[in-house]
Structure 1
C-alpha cells in the first residue's frame, strides 16, 4: 500500500486531533454538555474545519480515524486473503483479531470511547447507522469465500451476525471491566464458544 502524502497525512492527523479532543471533553462533561464549538476550540480548529471532518458531534466519538472507509475495505481484503482451507468463520475471527490488537494498543482511548458509547443509546443507534455501509460488502465477501449466494443463502448474513455478536460482546465485557482482562483473551473465549455452537457451560 502506498504511504499517504503530506496532504493526506495532515488530514488524518487533524481528524485524530478533533476525535481525541471530543473524547476528552465528552468524557468529562457528557455528550449533551459539549458543543461543536467546544470541541473545535479544544482541538485548536474552527467549527468550519470540524464540519469538514464530521457531520455531527456524535461522529467525532464514533469515527476514530479519517480513513475509516478504507479500513473497512482493508478488513475485507484481509479476510479474503486468509489461507485457503480455513472456513469462513475462523477466517473472519482471525481477521477481526488483528484489528482488536490495534484497539488494545490504544487501550485508554478505546475504553473511554466505549464507555461514552455504552452510556448513551443515541450513540449506539448512530454507530449502527455509520456501520451499515460496510455490511453488504462484507456479506458479499463471506459469500465469495464460502461459495454461497449472498441473496439466496442465509449463511453469509448469519455468519456476520454471529461474528458481530462475538465482537460486540467482547468489547462490552472488556469495557465493563475497565480493561482488567485482556481484550484478545475475552474475544478468543467468545469466539470459541460461538464456534462450538454455544453449548451450555458445564
Structure 2
C-alpha cells in the first residue's frame, strides 16, 4: 500500500512539474519543451516500474493527480462484519498471529453480512491479536475511557484494548456507527504503534 501511495505522490509531483513547464513562455511558443518530454517519460517509466514491483496494473484514475484512487475509495466504503473479519485475518497473519475467521466471528455469525459497527470492530480487532501484553509505559495511552456502556458480549474484548491503552473515548462514542476499511486499518495501526511494529 505504501508503494501505491508513493507512486500516486510521484505522479502528482511530476504532473505539477509538467504543468509549470507547459505554462512557461518557451513552452507556449514551441508547444512542448525537451524538459517536459523528459519529465513525461520519467513519469511513465516510474508508473511502469511501480506496477511491475507490485504486480498490479494501475488505472488512469490511480495515476492522475487530484483524483481519488481506487484504494482511497475502497477505504471509505463501509464494510460488512464478514469483510472486516477477512481483512483482520490477513492483517494479523502478517504480524505472526494466525487466527481463524470463525474465531473472530464467534457469537456474531448471524450478522456477518451486515455492516460492521464500531463495537464489532473493537471486538474483532481484540480477537485478531489475542490477549495483548502490557506495553511500555511511555507508549500506553493516558486517556481514561469509561466502558460502562459496553454490552456484556463485547466487554472482555473491549477491556483487553482498554487495559493496554489502545482504546479511546471516540471508540466508545462512535460504537454504533458503521465502520470503513480505513477505520479498521487505523485501529490496527494503533495496536502496532503500541508495540513498536
Q: TM-score range by the shorter chain?
A: under 0.3
Instruction: Give the structure-1-normalised TM-score.
Output: 0.22
| Higher share in helix | 1
